[in-house]
C-alpha cells in the first residue's frame, strides 16, 4: 500500500512517499519558493538525491511535478500515479470538522469557510485538493486535520471566556494545531522513556510554533487556539494578541480590519519584531552582531515559550520529559539553552556540551536533571500516512 503525504506551506510543498505495508519511506522531496521564477526542488529516492531549480507557478503545478518525478521510469518510485492507494494531507482547519476525513465537497466547503481563519494554509490546500481530485479521481484523498490530536483537551483548557454560544454555535474556542507532530512526539517519547503514561511537554518550534502538554499519550492543552495565528509568535504570524488593539490601529493608521488582519498574519511574529527577518538563522546572526531588534525578537519568543512551559508544568504537576522538535527546536542550541535557563527549582538542567553538539534524536539533560530533556526530529508525514491507512482499512 503506497501512500503519498503532502505537506503544503504558503510557498512550499514537501512530500513523502511511504510503503505502508512495512512503513518504509520510499521517497521524499520538496519544492520551495513556489510562485517565483526559480523554485529549488529536490527528490531523494533509492539512496540518490537530485536537485534542480525550475519554475513552479503554483501549488497545483508543484503537485503535478511531484507526481511526474515519482512516476519517471528512471527512478521507479511509482509505476504510475494510479499506484497510490491514497494521498494524505496534513490539513489544518475546517469549520465544524476535525479528525481524519475523505476529501469531498463537504470537507472542501468546510475548509473554504475557514480560509480567513487559516489564510496561509487553507487556500493552497483546497487548491491542491481540487486539482488532484480532478486529475486523479481514482485516488482517494485523505485530510488528517491538525486539530484531531487535541480533541482530548478538557473544557477548562479549551474555552475562551466569551459568551458561551460563541463556542457552542460558532466553534470559537481553542482547537490546537500541530497535531501530527505532537502525536508523533507523544508516541516516540513514551517509547524512549518506556513509560506509556509519561507526562511530556512537546515544544514544536519552527516556522509555526506551539507547545503541547501530554499525559497518557493524550493532548491536555496546546498553546495554539482558534487559529494558527495564536499562542507563541511564529515566523511571520502574530501569536497571542489583544483584539482591542485593533480599533486603536484602525483609527491611527486608516487601515481596514482586513488589512490589519493581513499584517497580523503575514508581517508580524519574529519578522515583525526583528525588522523584516523571517528566518531564525538570520535573526540569530544579526543578534550576535549587536542588532537590538533581532535580540528583542529572540527575547520575546523565549519569554513566550517559557510562559507556556511554566503553565504546562503546573497543569501536568511536573513533567517526565520536555521535547524539542521543529526547525528551531531541533537546530537552535541557543534557543534551547535560553528556554531552559535557570529552571533548577523545577529539576530542569540542560547539559551545555550535549546541547551544543546535538544532532538528531538525543537527550540533552545533565545527570542531575529530574526532568529529561530531548531533541526529537518529528515525523508528521508518517502520522498522516498511518491515519490515511487506518481510514482506508475502516
Ligand atoms: P515549518 O513550521 O514551516 O515546517 P520548520 O519546522 O521547517 O518550519 O522550521 C523552519 C524554521 O526553523 C526556519 O524559519 C528557521 O528559522 C529555523 N531553523 C532551521 N534551521 C535552523 C538552525 N540551524 N538554527 C536556527 N534556526 C533554524
pLDDT of amino acid 35: 83
Our answer on whether the CB atom of 329 is closer than 6 Å to any ligand 1 atom is no
Our answer on whether the CB atom of 9 is closer than 6 Å to any ligand 1 atom is yes
Q: What residue's CA is closest to ligand 1, atom 8? A: 207
Q: How many CA atoms does the CB half-sphere of 2 hold within 13 Å?
A: 19
Percentage of residues of the chain with pLDDT beyond 70? 100
Confidence of residue 254 (pLDDT cuts 50, 70, 90): very high
Mean pLDDT confidence for 26-36: 90
Our answer on whether the CB atom of 377 is closer than 6 Å to any ligand 1 atom is no
Q: What residue's CA is closest to ligand 1, atom 19? A: 327
Mean pLDDT confidence for 258-284: 95
The mean of the pLDDT values for the chain is 95
DSSP assignment of 230-253 equals: SSS--SSS--S--TTHHHHHHHHH
pLDDT of amino acid 34: 86
Q: What residue's CA is closest to ligand 1, atom 14? A: 279
Our answer on whether the CB atom of 269 is closer than 6 Å to any ligand 1 atom is no
Residue 192 has pLDDT above 90, yes or no: yes
Q: Please, what sign has the CA dihedral across residues 242, 244, 245, 247?
A: positive
pLDDT of amino acid 37: 87
pLDDT of amino acid 32: 87
- Cα angle 352-354-355, degrees, rounded to a multiple of 5: 60
Tell me the pTM: 0.95
**Rounded distance from Cα 149 to ligand 1 centre (Å):** 23
Closest CA to 268 of 228, 302, 306: 228
Q: How many CA atoms does the CB half-sphere of 198 hold within 13 Å?
A: 21
Query: What region does 94 belong to: left with phi over 0, alpha with psi -120 to 50, or beta?
Result: beta
Q: How far is CA 221 from CA 105, 147, 215, 311, in A?
A: 31, 12, 10, 10
Q: Which of 207, 288, 335, 336 to mutate to test the pocket of ligand 1 (most atoms within 8 A of CB)?
A: 207
Residue 198 has pLDDT above 90, yes or no: yes
pLDDT of amino acid 131: 85
Q: What residue's CA is closest to ligand 1, atom 1? A: 207
Confidence of residue 278 (pLDDT cuts 50, 70, 90): confident
Our answer on whether the CB atom of 195 is closer than 6 Å to any ligand 1 atom is no
Residue 77 has pLDDT above 90, yes or no: no
Our answer on whether the CB atom of 210 is closer than 6 Å to any ligand 1 atom is no
Q: What residue's CA is closest to ligand 1, atom 12? A: 327
Mean pLDDT confidence for 117-125: 94
Our answer on whether the CB atom of 181 is closer than 6 Å to any ligand 1 atom is no
**Rounded distance from Cα 176 to ligand 1 centre (Å):** 20
Annotated domain spans of the chain: 2-145, 194-375
Our answer on whether the CB atom of 124 is closer than 6 Å to any ligand 1 atom is no
Confidence of residue 33 (pLDDT cuts 50, 70, 90): confident
**Rounded distance from Cα 58 to ligand 1 centre (Å):** 22
Question: Of all atoms in ligand 1, which is nearest to the CA of residue 206?
Answer: 9
Say which residue the cell 508523533 belongs to: 184
Going by the DSSP 8-state scheme, the letter that residue 203 receives in this structure is: E
Confidence of residue 8 (pLDDT cuts 50, 70, 90): confident
Our answer on whether the CB atom of 331 is closer than 6 Å to any ligand 1 atom is yes
DSSP assignment of 106-135 equals: HHHHHHHHTTTTSTTTHHHHHHHHHHHHHH
DSSP H helices, the chain, are 59-70, 105-113, 122-135, 155-158, 164-170, 179-193, 245-253, 257-266, 269-274, 280-288, 292-315, 326-331, 333-340, 352-357, 380-393
Closest CA to 202 of 249, 43, 247, 189: 189
**Rounded distance from Cα 156 to ligand 1 centre (Å):** 32
pLDDT of amino acid 297: 98
| pLDDT, tens digit, 9 for 90 and up, residues 220-247 | 999 999 999 999 999 999 999 999 999 9
Confidence of residue 144 (pLDDT cuts 50, 70, 90): very high
pLDDT of amino acid 96: 96
| pLDDT, tens digit, 9 for 90 and up, residues 302-325 | 999 999 999 999 999 999 999 999
**Rounded distance from Cα 165 to ligand 1 centre (Å):** 38
Mean pLDDT confidence for 166-183: 97
**Rounded distance from Cα 205 to ligand 1 centre (Å):** 8
Our answer on whether the CB atom of 112 is closer than 6 Å to any ligand 1 atom is no
194-375: CATH number: 3.30.420.40
Mean pLDDT confidence for 153-159: 98
Q: What residue's CA is closest to ligand 1, atom 2? A: 207
Per CATH, 2-145 and 194-375 having the same topology is answered yes
Residue 301 has pLDDT above 80, yes or no: yes
pLDDT of amino acid 380: 95
**Superfamily (CATH H level) for 2-145:** ATPase, nucleotide binding domain (3.30.420.40)
Confidence of residue 351 (pLDDT cuts 50, 70, 90): very high
**Rounded distance from Cα 331 to ligand 1 centre (Å):** 7
pLDDT of amino acid 161: 98
Check if the beta carbon of residue 103 is closer than 8 Å to that of residue 89. Answer: yes
Amino acid at each position: 500500500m503506497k501512500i503519498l503525504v503532502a505537506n503544503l506551506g504558503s510557498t512550499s510543498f514537501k512530500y513523502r512517499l511511504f510503503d505502508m505495508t512495512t512503513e518504509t519511506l520510499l521517497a521524499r522531496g520538496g519544492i520551495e519558493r513556489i510562485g517565483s521564477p526559480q523554485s529549488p526542488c529536490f527528490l531523494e529516492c533509492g539512496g540518490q538525491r537530485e536537485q534542480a531549480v525550475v519554475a513552479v507557478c503554483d501549488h497545483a503545478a508543484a503537485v503535478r511535478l511531484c507526481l511526474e518525478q515519482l512516476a519517471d521510469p528512471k527512478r521507479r518510485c511509482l509505476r504510475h500515479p494510479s499506484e497510490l492507494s491514497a494521498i494524505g494531507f496534513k490539513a489544518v482547519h475546517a469549520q465544524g470538522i476535525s479528525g481524519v476525513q475523505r476529501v469531498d465537497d463537504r470537507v472542501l466547503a468546510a475548509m473554504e469557510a475557514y480560509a480567513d481563519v487559516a489564510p496561509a494554509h487553507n487556500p493552497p490546500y483546497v487548491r491542491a485538493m481540487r486539482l488532484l481530485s480532478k486529475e486523479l479521481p481514482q485516488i482517494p484523498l485523505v485530510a488528517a486535520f491538525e486539530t484531531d490530536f487535541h480533541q482530548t483537551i478538557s473544557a477548562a483548557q479549551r474555552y475562551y471566556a466569551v459568551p458561551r454560544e460563541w463556542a457552542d454555535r460558532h466553534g470559537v474556542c481553542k482547537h490546537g494545531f500541530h497535531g501530527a507532530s505532537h502525536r508523533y512526539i507523544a508516541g516516540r517519547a513514551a517509547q524512549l522513556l518506556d513509560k506509556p503514561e509519561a507526562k511530556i511537554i512537546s515544544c514544536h518550534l519552527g516556522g509555526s510554533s506551539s507547545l503541547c502538554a501530554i499525559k497518557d499519550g493524550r493532548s491536555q492543552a496546546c498553546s495554539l487556539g482558534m487559529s494558527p495565528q495564536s499562542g507563541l509568535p511564529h515566523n511571520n504570524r502574530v501569536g497571542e494578541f489583544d483584539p482591542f488593539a485593533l480599533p486603536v490601529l484602525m483609527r491611527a493608521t486608516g487601515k481596514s480590519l482586513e488589512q490589519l488582519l493581513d499584517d497580523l498574519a503575514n508581517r508580524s511574529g519574529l519578522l515583525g519584531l526583528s525588522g523584516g527577518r523571517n528566518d531564525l538563522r538570520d535573526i540569530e546572526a544579526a543578534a550576535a552582531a549587536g542588532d537590538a531588534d533581532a535580540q528583542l525578537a529572540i527575547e520575546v519568543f523565549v519569554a513566550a515559550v517559557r510562559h507556556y512551559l511554566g503553565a504546562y508544568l503546573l497543569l501536568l504537576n511536573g513533567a517526565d520529559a520536555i521535547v524539542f522538535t521543529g526547525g528551531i527546536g531541533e537546530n537552535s542550541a541557543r534557543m534551547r539553552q535560553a528556554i531552559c535557563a535557570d529552571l533548577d527549582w523545577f529539576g530542569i538542567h540542560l547539559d551545555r556540551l550535549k546541547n551544543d553538539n546535538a544532532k538528531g534524536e538525543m537527550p540533552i539533560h545533565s545527570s542531575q536533571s529530574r526532568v529529561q530533556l530531548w531533541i526529537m526530529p518529528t515525523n508528521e508525514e508518517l502520522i498522516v500516512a498511518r491515519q490515511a491507512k487506518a481510514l482506508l482499512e475502516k
